[in-house]
Amino acid sequence: GFLLLGAGFAFKVAAVPFHMWTPDVYEGAPTPVTALMSAAVKSAAFVAMVRTLLFLGPSVTPEVVFAGLAGLAALTMVGGNLMALPQRNVKRMLAYSSIAHAGYLLLAVAALFVPASMAGNKDVGVMQASPLGPAAWLSADLYKGILFYLLAYTVTTLGSFGVLSAIERREDETRGSTWDLDRLSGLAQRKPGWAAAMALFMLSLGGIPPTVGFMGKLLIFRLWLHLRPGPGGR
């Protein structure tokens, strides 16, 4: 039952190998609907996943939950980014970007269940940390990191699809709803404001400093540095 529930959540957040529906749906749906699915639905799915796993986690060995989430995170980060490289359709490319970002978020969710034995016997994971213990700050920072990343991802994704939707409405008579990368060629001359906004959103989704996307990734990886085995504290 726990595995089936995990598979259902992995499907909802488009984690590899449960991601196959995402590119086709993102490409085929109207752009405003795609924006809703990529941001609001995925954020809600992650919130539901965290709440459910924290409720059911004590009944399962933390090592099992941690290994499953960490494995999904690795596959999703690597697979999503590699599959995005050859894409010529902008909406399919953003779909694979959404998959990769799900991997980064899964990394933070996995950190909630890291066993103490895998972190130098430090009392760090949510399943081990006491509300008044020395690692209570880490549990709180993990929640903050997840929420901040969800906020950053939601804003940048809605912004990028918003630009695509605006271009689509503006050029509907000449180019329709087909979304090839060539359609963005010359956008800086046609609509410099939209081009600047799209560039900013893309830099943020790519995690380029000093954008909000970079800050979200920095928070997550900073927390993982504190989970590394070995002596030392905060």
pLDDT higher than threshold 60 for residue 231: no
Mean pLDDT of 175-198: 79
Cα 202 to Cα 2, 9, 222, distances in angstroms: 36, 27, 23
Model confidence over 127-145: pLDDT tens digits? 444 333 444 445 677 788 8
The pLDDT assigned to 170 comes to: 72
The pLDDT assigned to 51 comes to: 84
The pLDDT assigned to 203 comes to: 93
Q: How far apart are CA 6 and CA 164, in angstroms?
A: 33
CB 164 within 8 A of CB 90: yes
CB 106 within 8 A of CB 15: yes
pLDDT higher than threshold 50 for residue 31: yes
CB 85 within 8 A of CB 181: no
Phi first, then psi, for residue 126 (nearest 5°) are -60, -35
Structure tokens that stand for 148 in this block: 């901040």
pLDDT higher than threshold 70 for residue 226: no
**Helix, strand, or coil here: 191?**
coil
Mean pLDDT of 72-101: 90
The pLDDT assigned to 111 comes to: 81
Q: How far apart are CA 217 and CA 214, in angstroms?
A: 5
Mean pLDDT of 106-124: 68
Mean pLDDT of 30-34: 86
Least confident of 61-65, 78-82, 97-101, 116-120: 116-120
More confident residue, 226 or 18: 18
Q: Which residues pair with 89 in a beta bridge?
A: 180
Model confidence over 1-25: pLDDT tens digits? 888 888 899 999 889 888 889 889 8
Model confidence over 51-69: pLDDT tens digits? 888 787 667 777 778 888 8
The residue written with tokens 């990769």 in the block is 100
In 10 A of CB 193, how many CB atoms? 10
Structure tokens that stand for 72 in this block: 């999904």
Mean pLDDT of 151-155: 90
pLDDT higher than threshold 70 for residue 119: no
Give 197's pLDDT tier (boundaries 50, 70, 90). very high
The pLDDT assigned to 117 comes to: 60
